[in-house]
Structure 1
């Protein structure tokens, strides 16, 4: 099944929203207030620094962002490709088209082009896949939420994430992009996760890495081509 991409769509990746990284809130407010009028909104994963459908503390602390996404989804089509920091989200975003990691890549089309999209943490070694299945396990997350007395576990996670430096450069991006493209057979591949904000073109395919909103202060506007826009 191929979904359609429309011109004037906005792509946001890896904003890692928290008390330190506030760029996402600024951008969502512009969309909600009609200062920006995208035809569609693509959230490419790791939008919030941590949230899951079971994490009551993080749902509460990110309520403003959650409410804005839900508000926007009432007027335009919103796609959310879950990342490694945000998962089990459908219950939080009832009108958003949410795609779990195991359902990525997601196929889209624009005119005569086929486009595969994912957060980016797929086609990975077995031990990472095992880790992903554990951290997304609903019974485990429900249990951890039950024993999260005084939000001690959640605050420990929050504190740890705030200390992380998530912005960096992949030295040989072209080789990296070629390897990523080898997993796909579509004309274009669009991913987040890697925080590079770069494009690579081979003879038959194009790889687009959406910039990290918190690192590059950019989102992407699609108008037939993918172009970075400063927030």
Structure 2
């Protein structure tokens, strides 16, 4: 554990930034203009609706946010946990600590407690693990980029993502979480991915699911040794 959680840190999850979901850009501009006081920024995955360093179309589409994050990283500690929509990112964010899926959970220190961070799409099944390895393969992505004539494939993917409904309630979410916490050797577990924004306690472990920035319009703040939800301001 080489990172300690600082007072006034914030956690952003599942902003799915695209032409439709602009909340992330709004929040980052507030940080840039000193309108939001933060000490650390934890990006919990699926920050972009789609992004990888191999996909030229989506790099261009997300250029403003990529540049803004890199600018902020000059003076702000940023930790980016890759999700299932954003991966192979380190080349795009040279000053940001990027945690790929294979290195999640990523553990940080909170005073005397241990905090485990993951996007949340791990510990599922072997079929999904295989899919994740294929879709993140750099050779495969470069090949797809090569055959993406006039960005036909990328534009079809973008259209599908724009039309997808990602805001929903999981009725049995507590049962799902109870199984997930068994994979963590930590006092606190923080995940994104599920877009639920709920907290549970199981024995000595506290589980926090960070809200989706584009669905619930909020994020998680750590202040005075407590976690609480903070609404995105206009």
Cα separation, 2, equivalents of 1:211 and 1:90: 25
Counterparts of 1:156-175 in structure 2 under 5 Å? 156-175=156-175
CA distance in 2: counterparts of 1:230 and 1:104, whole angstroms: 27
Q: Quote the residue 1:190 is aligned against.
A: 190
172-181 or 30-39, which moves further after superposition?
A: 172-181
**1:200 aligned residue:** 200
Distance 2:199 2:14 in 1: 17
**Could you say which residue in structure 2 is the equivalent of 1:10?**
10
Q: CA deviation at 1:147?
A: 1.3
Larger CA deviation: 113-122 vs 171-180: 171-180
Equivalent runs, 1:128-139 vs 2, <5 Å: 128-139=128-139
Are 1:38 and 2:2 matched, yes or no?
no
Q: Does 1:151 align with 2:154?
A: no
Task: Give the structure 2 partner of residue 110 of structure 1.
Answer: 110
Post-superposition shift, 1:87?
A: 0.2
Per-residue CA shift, 1:112-160, capped at 9, x if unaligned? 1110000001111000000000100001111111111111011011001
Does the residue aligned with 1:181 lie in a helix, a strand or coil? Answer: helix
How far 1:172 moved relative to its partner? 2.5
- The CA distance in 2 between the partners of 1:29 and 1:76, in whole Å, is 14
Q: Distance in 2 between matches of 1:147 and 1:162?
A: 22
Q: CA deviation at 1:68?
A: 0.9
Please provide the CA RMSD for this pair: 0.8
Q: What SS class does the counterpart of residue 25 from structure 1 fall into?
A: helix
Counterpart CA distance in 1 for 2:37 and 2:67 is 18
Q: Is there any run of 5+ residues in structure 2 with no aligned partner, and where? A: none
Aligned to 1:123: 123
Question: 1:175: Cα distance to partner?
Answer: 1.6
Match of 2:92 in 1: 92
Please show how residues 23-34 of structure 1 align to structure 2 within 5 Å: 23-34=23-34
Kindly state the Cα deviation for residue 3 of structure 1 after the two structures are TM-superposed: 2.0
Distance 1:130 1:169 in 2: 27
TM-score (norm 1): 0.98
Consecutive unaligned residues of structure 1, counting only runs of 5 or more, are none
Matching residue of 2:22: 22
TM, length-normalised to structure 2:
0.97
Return the offset for 1:174. 2.2
2:176 maps to: 176
